[in-house]
Structure 1
Amino acid sequence: MQTWWGRQHWDSGATLGWQLADLQLAITRLEQEWQIRIQQPLHISEDRHDWQALAPAATDQISDGELRRHVGATTQEYMQLLPKLADRPVVVRPAHQLFIAPQVSVTLYISTPVWLVFCSDDTSNPLLDLPVTRPSDSWFGPNTRQGELCYATRVVGRLHLQELTQHPFRAVTPVRIYNGGDQPFPLQRLAVPVQFLPLHVSEAGRLWTPTLNVYCDASNEHAEIRMANRVDHAAGPTTLLSPPRTPLGSGNLVRALDMLFASRANGL
């Protein structure tokens, strides 16, 4: 299985480069410095999913991009590229507006973009953390004073996993929603709190998160949200790639639940 992430070796003075969708990246190791060159268009397409490792001659063409220099006492010969989930919730719509019948649960398969992290084996202090394909900003809340700045994606949620195309820069999050009320529950869009989720990879190379289980009703008086302790069985065996950006403590559970359907009050 060939992937764009993984542990890489740099000789001193060597440059490795990648083209990941519209992002071009060249990383040079010096004795006391990492030089990272980034080239990315202003308008990024979510529809591009190709990638390749660049030949040395091709990395010279990235010289006009943004240069970031990280200086230290020394540099390590082994570093890694890793995918990581977004640093904010991602707003997703179902393909069509859904009404979940009373006492019924449905699973919506969500696909969200991932970030690229360049780091040592200690992933807590990356030298680079940026989206491969940056989604647009979106305000999500019941009004302009209450809510949160999120990301929006044009890729819609699906009721069937096979309808969600596998892409190298996107991760699947199953959201299982149970309507415990006595009225149909309208689902028009939701903000998936991906910053609280770990990222796994399946043997087929697909990126996954654990399932989010949401219990709700029309009044939201007894609503709750829980993260499953394993990845959905449809993924098969998986390996942990990245821990969550933010631990999912009890306070964050409340915040995540408040945000999940925050705009429903206004029918947005």
Structure 2
Amino acid sequence: MTFANNECKGFRIGALQLYLQRQAKQWLIATDTIHDDEKVPLQQHNLEMLPGHLQPQRYMFTKSPNVCRLVPQLLDRPVVVKTLQPVRIPPGERATFYISSPVCIGVVLPASEVLKSELILTDIAVQRLSDTWFGPSTQIGELCYADKTHARHSKGELKVRPHRAITPVHIHNLSEQMLAMDKISIPVPYLTLYGDLDGSLWTDSLTIQHKSLLSLASFKIDKLDITKPQTSTLLSPPRKTAEKHSLIRAFTDMLSD
């Protein structure tokens, strides 16, 4: 997007209302939160100035660049999602769930005559999630974000929500007992984000193998092969590099009945 001097734009992305204004020597960025985010599609509108009740962040330049991009990105910490309905997988069975998580919006100034390289001004979460600790104890685990999910098992049940990214999760119960799943931590910082032609957002898929309560489950990241014909476009790379062979030890709240 190209901004003239003093031009101001507003963007509605889920529950996030984002305001950008370019001035001769600075960029101003302000945000607000709106409810009923599921009922409103992406919106853009022009404004004369930033809303007076908001306190903007100021980014100073000798001469401000006139081009800006909004780039969706995955969150910077894993997202612990709690299933809204009980989920049980019998011994030896497999199941696939489609779990969504809110994204961030990066405000990016591309490389230009003014900037030698691309500059990310800020990274704004579309939805504010609460913090939670996830792990087998207070000493072992990690700080995550907390969310809830319907854990849908059919693509046909999915809504197109441009402010949430869908992660396909394949679970294989290799144990000899019924597997009950209450929570699961999605390692979104290790995943790539893609955009589909219908406006939906997708990540790499995950495969989880559960063998017993005595060992941690493991995530295997299944990367999308973007060299093959498809409708997805890479939007942003992972924030972190996964361990060798794309295996991540997962603290999953799974219990054998």
TM-fit CA distance, 1:266: 11
Aligned equivalent of 1:20: 13
1:77 equivalent among 47, 52, 66? 66
Structure 1 residue matching 2:250: 3-state secondary structure: helix
1:97 lines up with 2:86 in the alignment? yes
1:11 lines up with 2:4 in the alignment? yes
Please list the CA deviations of residues 36-89 of structure 1 after superposition, one character each: whole Å capped at 9, or x if unmatched. 122336xx66645443212324x54x2221211111333322210011111111
Structure 2 residue matching 1:171: 3-state secondary structure: strand
Q: 1:221 to 1:24 in 2, by over 3 A?
A: closer
The code of the aligned residue for 1:239 comes to T
Provide the rounded CA distance (Å) in 2 between the counterparts of 1:160 and 1:220: 31
1:183 lines up with 2:177 in the alignment? yes
Higher helix share: 1
TM-fit CA distance, 1:154: 2.8
Q: 1:55 to 1:72 in 2, by over 3 A?
A: closer
Structure 2 residue matching 1:93: 3-state secondary structure: strand
Higher strand share: 2
Q: 1:253 to 1:70 in 2, by over 3 A?
A: farther
Please list the CA deviations of residues 139-183 of structure 1 after superposition, one character each: whole Å capped at 9, or x if unmatched. 222333433222122332111222232212111000111122222
The code of the aligned residue for 2:131 comes to D
Which range is displaced more, 23-32 or 236-245?
23-32
TM-score normalised over the length of structure 2: 0.84
Provide the rounded CA distance (Å) in 2 between the counterparts of 1:258 and 1:208: 21
Provide the rounded CA distance (Å) in 2 between the counterparts of 1:153 and 1:75: 38
Please list the CA deviations of residues 101-137 of structure 1 after superposition, one character each: whole Å capped at 9, or x if unmatched. 2222111110111111101236974112111121222
Structure 1 residue matching 2:138: 3-state secondary structure: coil
Provide the rounded CA distance (Å) in 1 between the counterparts of 2:245 and 2:24: 44
Contact (CA 8 Å) 1:112, 1:171: kept in 2 or not?
yes
Q: 1:40 to 1:162 in 2, by over 3 A?
A: same
1:215 lines up with 2:209 in the alignment? yes
Aligned equivalent of 1:155: 149
Contact (CA 8 Å) 1:22, 1:48: kept in 2 or not?
no
The code of the aligned residue for 2:175 comes to G
Provide the rounded CA distance (Å) in 2 between the counterparts of 1:222 and 1:37: 42
1:38 equivalent among 31, 37, 62? 31
Q: 1:265 to 1:128 in 2, by over 3 A?
A: same
2:105 equivalent among 104, 116, 121? 116
Contact (CA 8 Å) 1:142, 1:264: kept in 2 or not?
no
Provide the rounded CA distance (Å) in 2 between the counterparts of 1:222 and 1:188: 15
TM-score normalised over the length of structure 1: 0.81
The code of the aligned residue for 1:92 comes to V
TM-fit CA distance, 1:265: 6.8
The code of the aligned residue for 1:199 comes to L
Give me the CA root mean square deviation. Answer: 2.8
Identity over aligned pairs, percent: 29
Aligned pair count reads 249
